[in-house]
Amino acid sequence: MRVDAVTLFPEMIDRPLSESIVGRAREEGYLKLGFSNPRDFAGDRRRTVDDKPYGGGTGMLLMAEPVYKALLKVRKKNSTVILLTPKGRRFDQSAAQALAKKKHLVLICGHYEGIDERITPLADMELSIGDYVLTGGEPAAVVVIDAVTRLIPGVLKKSDATVKETFTGGLLEAPHYTRPGVWRGKEVPLALLSGNHGRIEDWRRARAAELTGISRPDLLPTAAKTRPRKKI
């Protein structure tokens, strides 16, 4: 997959996505990440990209033209253009799965107080990563690219890891343990040591349901739909 970010601060995205699994996915060619900087398309000698909002108000806005030119540099016929903004639809695991099927994503990162509204119709969708306000769309771009990259077939060597995990089944995951079996007096649950796969699965399902009820009860109705009960 190819992803291009339209951003004034490419380093904010490039650096965190050079580490760990996504860094390796880039080295191995699963993810090709590029950048287009509106600053390179400013119209004046001082390379201005922001201006005051019409009608007054606090803060500065990204001007439409430099963002538009930066977008045109990377947009192709098959691109999915995404505007990152706290006003967007909430990004979740099902959105990540849908985006992982695309050939080319272009992520437009707002900064300052936002972007001139006339840019919005150029995007296929607007996404937000949660109900809080960031200084810019770059950390959100990192989140979206990370979540999508790990779903590209081949990126995770154990592909099973994307099937049973948190959210995909609609529930939080059961807790995990590794050696030692007793750590500072705390024991690993016996079911996990039993070697009995049926018992281990039952234990995990029960803990997942219990944990979801405690931490994220809002997920339970969806989980019920996702995994219908067996008929008796």
Query: Rule CB under 6 A: which residues touch ligand 6GU?
Result: 84-86, 110, 128-130, 132-134, 136-137, 140
Q: Is-contact 200 194, C-beta < 8 A?
A: yes
CB of 163 to ligand 6GU, least distance (A): 27
Dist. CA 159–CA 153, nearest whole Å: 7
Of 82 and 155, the one with the shorter C-beta distance to ligand 6GU is 82
Of 54 and 132, the one with the shorter C-beta distance to ligand 6GU is 132
Element (H, E) at 87: strand 79-90
Of 85 and 149, the one with the shorter C-beta distance to ligand 6GU is 85
CB of 130 to ligand 6GU, least distance (A): 5
Q: Is-contact 8 41, C-beta < 8 A?
A: no
* Cα dist from 153 to 4, 23, 166, 176, whole Å: 20, 16, 18, 24
Instruction: Dig out the tokens for 146 from the structure.
Output: 């990370």
CB of 93 to ligand 6GU, least distance (A): 16
Of 43 and 130, the one with the shorter C-beta distance to ligand 6GU is 130
CB of 216 to ligand 6GU, least distance (A): 19
DSSP structure class, residue 154:
T
203 SS3 class = helix
Q: Residue 105, CB half-sphere, CA atoms under 13 Å: how many? A: 29
Of 110 and 170, the one with the shorter C-beta distance to ligand 6GU is 110
CB of 15 to ligand 6GU, least distance (A): 18
